[in-house]
């Protein structure tokens, strides 16, 4: 058996991004580019019923610092059964972290806090281990913070710091690709995976089953999973089709 055949499949995480109580998708993470896709609970239930093991659930309003969708996210976590939830958006202090973990989420994704509050982030990573992933949202090699509205430092410097802190997992997004359906940044993913032995989750740009296959080919290099959003909502392919290729 060759190495590729013996590697695990690519884990797919359908995205449910919530703004104003609705499931939406953005283009390049910019506020004001929302396309609405209805009830977040129905969206999450749809992906769960079609075989998703994980759902990437994001409070966009909290990420942008313009409010929160806590009650809606709690409804998703309460009603959607048989699927793991990765929760992201606005988790920046002890109170928001504890609320996220107590909500029933299986993993939380730190974004801005990991860039702006390194000491707190290191302590959280040390305390919660596998329950904490860190999102690395980049333009080129410059990190983006505050809902991608501010610069957050150099990717490689921050990655080295997070490695020292023992970060368990990274969610890597090329902001310029997100919501554009122009394909993922495979070279960026390779570079990040080559600098850590921790799992990497790809995010942004997936547009076709060929993209899923390309990301699947990176599993031996350390890419564990991929967040898929706009392509699924736009009907470019079904989740069943994507899961078939991801597990091949």
Cβ neighbours of 231 (radius 10 Å): 20
Query: Pick the catalytic residue: 59, 137, 178, 211?
Result: 137
Q: Which residues contact 86 (CB under 8 A, 6 or more apart)?
A: 13, 54, 55, 56, 57, 105, 106, 107, 108, 109, 133
Active site residue 137: yes
Residue whose structure tokens are 């996210």? 73
Cβ neighbours of 45 (radius 10 Å): 18
Is-contact 182 144, C-beta < 8 A? no
In whole angstroms, give the CA distance from residue 181 to residue 237.
Answer: 12
Active site residue 244: no
Query: Pick the catalytic residue: 17, 174, 178, 211?
Result: 17
Instruction: Please give the positions annotated as active site.
Output: 17, 137
């Amino acid at each position: 058996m060759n190495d590729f055949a013996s590697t695990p499949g690519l884990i797919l995480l359908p995205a449910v991004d919530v703004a104003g109580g609705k499931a939406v998708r953005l283009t390049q993470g910019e506020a004001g580019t929302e396309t609405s896709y209805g009830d977040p609970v129905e969206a999450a239930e749809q992906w769960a019923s079609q075989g998703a093991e994980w759902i990437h659930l994001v409070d966009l309003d909290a990420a942008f610092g313009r409010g929160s969708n806590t009650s809606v996210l709690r409804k998703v976590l309460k009603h959607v059964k048989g699927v793991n939830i990765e929760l992201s958006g606005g988790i920046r202090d002890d109170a928001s972290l504890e609320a996220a973990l107590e909500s029933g989420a299986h993993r939380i994704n730190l974004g801005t806090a990991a860039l702006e509050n390194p000491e707190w982030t290191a302590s959280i990573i040390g305390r919660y281990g596998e329950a904490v992933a860190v999102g690395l949202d980049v333009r080129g090699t410059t990190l983006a913070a505050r809902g991608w509205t501010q610069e957050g430092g150099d990717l490689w410097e921050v990655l080295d710091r997070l490695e020292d802190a023992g970060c368990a997992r990274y969610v890597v997004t090329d902001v310029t690709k997100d919501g554009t359906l122009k394909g993922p940044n495979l070279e960026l993913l390779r570079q990040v995976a080559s600098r850590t032995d921790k799992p990497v989750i790809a995010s942004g740009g997936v547009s076709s089953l060929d993209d899923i296959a390309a990301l699947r080919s990176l599993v031996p290099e350390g890419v564990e999973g991929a967040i898929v959003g706009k392509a699924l909502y736009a009907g470019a392919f079904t989740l069943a089709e994507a899961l078939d290729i991801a597990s091949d």
